[in-house]
Amino acid sequence: MPLCSQVSVAILGATGAVGTELLKLLQSRNFPLSRLKLLASSRSAGRQVSFGGENLTVEALSEQAFDNVDLVLASAGGATSKVWAPKAVAKGAVVIDNSSAFRLDSKVPLVIPEVNPDTAVSHQGIIANPNCTTILMAMAVWPLHQVQPVQRIVAATYQSASGAGMRAMEEVKIQARAILQDEVPPTEIFPYPLAFNLFPHNSPLNEQGYCQEEMKMVNETRKIFGTPQLRVSATCIRVPVLRAHSEAINLEFAEPMPVTTAREVIANAPGVTLVEDWQANYFPMPMDASGCDQVLVGRIRQDLSHPCGLELWLSGDQIRKGAALNAVQIAELLVAKKSIKPAQALASY
């Protein structure tokens, strides 16, 4: 087996919003590919996609799809991953899964390379890419947490349509056109019109009234930080932005965290850019974060209601650092650590 210098990769969900970005990143970051396979549903089979000057043909997902594949980058939804990721592992591939299917499985590392890279090498075949809002929040909070332990996080999210996939982004544009022409906006992907509107994230609610997206922020942050007792509370809202999520985050530290220290920490943290022009009232915006690898953080200020509290605001590209970029960074980490393993060492799921 491989091959840590040249890797045979399959993208599962290659025609989707994240899959499309994965393709761009593998190319722009010169990922050491020996072969690239594009997999999607039978709807897309036969479609031609250009990659590095070549035309690749999209294949329908099948039992044979993972033959001779070292690494699968999966972004075709939880139900597809649940069934197909174990099959890929059984064939000897390592799967970096962008869905929520395995994130809280104790056998599965949940990895943000800037936060917990060392956990990646303990994988047993599947590595999970965290939820997008969780990644963006962790990128800003983790470096502060290294200086002064965070005891409580309260977050409100402003999530773009891209989180619900390519068809959802199209739906918002169609809805906007309809509303501007005084027509009733069609709804297919989202339960309500998102254009010129917003609504709480429509993932299923638990008995305490929290939706799945909010609970991902709670449970995944705890797992990634290695702090099972960390207090986290979130309110997730879908907003009529095409791409890039934003978040208002309130942090409570064990001791006061001076604003100047927090700014310095954020300014020097990997994968994060401090964006603050107080004169111009210019701070992170999803329009600036779209297509950007860095998470933009700013409006760092003292919480007036608590001596150990801090407020901050961020925008980050959900498709890039919130999904595809993080997955490719994990893949690069595995290549660097020679941690793409043969089948017999892998777990059954």
Task: Identify the active-site residue in 123, 145, 201, 245.
Answer: 245
Could you confirm whether 4 is annotated as catalytic?
A: no
- Active-site residue flag, 211: no
Which tokens belong to 119?
């956990």
Q: Which of 123, 132, 201, 236 is catalytic?
A: 132
Say whether residue 173 binds ligand A2P (CB under 6 A): no
- How many other C-beta atoms lie within 10 A of the C-beta of residue 208? 7
110: three-class secondary structure by DSSP: strand
In the complex, least distance from residue 69 CB atom to ligand A2P, rounded to whole angstroms: 15
Asked if 177 is part of the footprint of ligand A2P (rule: CB under 6 A), the reply reads no
In whole angstroms, the minimum distance from the beta carbon of 13 to ligand A2P comes to: 3
64 binds ligand A2P (CB under 6 A): no
**Residue 187, helix vs strand vs coil:** coil
Measure the CA angle with vertex 334, ends 24 and 52; round to 5°: 25
- Work out which of 7, 9, 10, 19 binds ligand A2P, going by CB under 6 A: 19
Of 56 and 166, the one with the shorter C-beta distance to ligand A2P is 166
Written as six digits, the tokens of 105 are: 């499985």
Q: Which of 2, 7, 15, 92 binds ligand A2P (CB under 6 A)?
A: 15
For the chain, how big is the Rg over CA atoms in Å? 20
Question: Per CB under 6 A, which region of 159-167, 171-179, 197-205, 305-313 contacts ligand A2P?
Answer: 159-167
User: Are the beta carbons of 271 and 139 closer than 8 angstroms?
Assistant: yes
Helices 17-28 and 325-336: crossing angle, nearest 10°?
A: 40
| Residue 316 within binding range of ligand A2P, rule CB under 6 A | no
- Does 44 interact with ligand A2P (rule: CB under 6 A)? yes
Residue number, 187 or 268, with CB nearest to ligand A2P:
187
H helix or E strand, kind and range, residue 311: strand 309-316
Binding span for ligand A2P by CB under 6 A among 35-43, 146-154, 179-187, 221-229: 35-43
Check binding of 166 to ligand A2P (CB under 6 A): yes
- Please provide the size of the chain in residues: 349
Q: How many residues bind ligand A2P (CB under 6 A)?
A: 17
Site for ligand A2P in 73-102 (CB under 6 A): 76-77, 80
Q: Please, where are the H alpha helices in the chain?
A: 17-28, 78-90, 132-147, 166-180, 212-225, 259-268, 286-289, 325-336
Stretch of 8-16, 120-128, 131-139, 264-272 contacting ligand A2P, by CB under 6 A? 8-16
Using CB under 6 A as the binding rule, whether residue 305 contacts ligand A2P is answered as no
DSSP 206-257: -TTS-BHHHHHHHHHHHHHHT-TT-EEEEEEEE-S-SS-EEEEEEEEESS--
Asked if 157 contacts 286 with a C-beta cutoff of 8 angstroms, the reply is no
H-helix or E-strand containing 95? strand 94-97
41 makes contact with ligand A2P (CB under 6 A): yes
Query: Which of 120, 164 has the CB closer to ligand A2P?
Result: 164
Q: Which residue has the tokens 């985050």?
A: 249
Q: Which one of the spans 38-46, 178-186, 209-217, 291-299 is the region binding ligand A2P (CB under 6 A)?
A: 38-46
- Examine residue 16 and tell whether it contacts ligand A2P (CB under 6 A): yes
Give me the least distance between CB of 318 and ligand A2P, in Å please: 11
Site for ligand A2P in 106-145 (CB under 6 A): none
Handedness of CA 211, 215, 217, 220 (dihedral sign): negative
The residue within the footprint of ligand A2P, chosen from 17, 135, 297, 300 (CB under 6 A), is: 17
Long-range contacts of 182-185 (CB under 8 A, 24+ apart): none
The residues of the shown chain that bind ligand A2P, judged by CB under 6 A, are 13-17, 19, 40-41, 43-44, 61, 76-77, 80, 165-167
